[in-house]
Amino acid sequence: MQHQQQSVTIIRPDGRTSGTSIRPLSCQLHSLSRADGSAQFTCGSTKILAAVYGPGPSKIPSRERLDQAVIVVVFKQAQYTHSSSSSCCSKMTNREMERFLIDSFSACICVHTYPKTIIEIVLQVIQADGSVLGNAVNAAVLALMDAGIEMKSIPIGTTCLIGKDNTILLLDPCGQEEEDEEGIMDEKKKCGTTFVLVTDSIQNNIITCMTLGSNAFLANSFRISVDAANQASKAVLMFMRMAIEQVHSHKS
C-alpha cells in the first residue's frame, strides 16, 4: 500500500498552518569587516553568522593541493535558546557537521579555479530554534557570494521532518518540533525521521543528504522530502538574489 502525505491543517508552535511552509527569512551581508566575505542569516528564530577567509595560502603547506583549493569548515555552537538533547543539531558532533558542510561546498565551489589555496568557512550559531544545519548552509552560501567565490551551483539547505507514520511532513521544523514536546508527530512524543538536504536550486539535484533518527522510513517519504526541499530552495534562492541585488544597488 502506498503512503501519501496527509493533507491536514495543523497549528505549528510558531503559528504556521502548513507543514510545507518555511519561516520568514532575513540576512545582513558583509557584517564582519575583517573577513573576505560574511553574512548573518536568520530563519525564524534561528540565527547563523558565517565568515569566509580566502582563498589564500595555507599556513601549513602540507594541507595545500597543487590542483585545487582545500575547503575548511569550522562550526561553532554557543549557549543558545531552545537547545535540547533531542534536537537535530545536538545528535551530531561539530566534526560530523563540519564534514557534511565540507562535502556540500566542495561539490559546488569551483575549487580548481583556486589551486594551492585554502578557503575557510567559519560558522557561528548565534541562536538556534530548529533546522540549524540547513540554515548554516544558507548562511555560508551568502558569505561565499559576498567574498566573490566562484561557484558552479548554488546549494540550498533544507530540513524536513517526517512523522513516525511516514505521512506528515514538517518543512523547516522549529526547535519545539524537533524536540516534539507537544507530541506533534506521534503519541509517544518521539521525533520521526529528519532529512537535512542540500540541493542544487537550479538543477533540482541532491548534492548531499544526512538522515537522522532511528525510525525506519519509506522511500516515498524521502521522495516527498526531496520534492518539498526543491520547492523551498527556489524560494530561498529568490530571497538570496534579492539580498545580493539590494547590496549592489546601494553600492552603485
Any domain includes 186: yes
Closest CA to 228 of 202, 195, 250: 195
C-alpha to C-alpha distance for 10 and 153, rounded to whole angstroms = 35
Any domain includes 195: yes
Domain count within the chain: 1
What average pLDDT does the segment 15-31 reach? 93
Which percentage of the chain shows pLDDT scores above 70?
Answer: 82
pTM of the model: 0.88
H or E segment to which residue 96 belongs? helix 94-106
Domain region containing 204: 25-251
Cis peptide preceding 115, ω within 30 of 0: no
pLDDT above 80 (res 248): no
Any domain includes 1: no
Residue 167 pLDDT: 65
C-alpha to C-alpha distance for 155 and 143, rounded to whole angstroms = 13
Any domain includes 7: no
Residue 196 Cα to chain centre, angstroms: 7
CA distances from 16 to 44, 195, 212, 233 (A): 11, 20, 23, 18
> Residue 36 is placed in which grid cell?
573576505
More confident residue, 238 or 82: 238
What average pLDDT does the segment 24-45 reach? 95
| CATH number, domain containing residue 197 | 3.30.230.70
Closest CA to 155 of 219, 229, 245, 225: 229
More confident residue, 222 or 145: 145
Any domain includes 16: no
- Return the number of other C-beta atoms located less than 10 Å from residue 50's C-beta: 29
With cut-offs at 50, 70 and 90, classify the pLDDT of residue 103.
very high
Any domain includes 40: yes
What average pLDDT does the segment 6-12 reach? 65
C-alpha to C-alpha distance for 250 and 252, rounded to whole angstroms = 6
- Dihedral of alpha carbons 169, 211, 102, 223, sign: negative
Any domain includes 197: yes
Average pLDDT, the chain: 85
> Residue 24 is placed in which grid cell?
520568514
Q: How far apart are the first and last CA of the chain?
A: 58
Instruction: Read off the pLDDT of residues 60-77 as tens digits, 9 standing for 90 and up.
Output: 777 889 899 999 999 998
Instruction: Read off the pLDDT of residues 171-220 as tens digits, 9 standing for 90 and up.
Output: 999 998 888 644 444 444 445 788 999 999 778 889 999 988 755 667 78
With cut-offs at 50, 70 and 90, classify the pLDDT of residue 140.
very high
Any domain includes 20: no
More confident residue, 86 or 53: 53
> Residue 233 is placed in which grid cell?
530552495
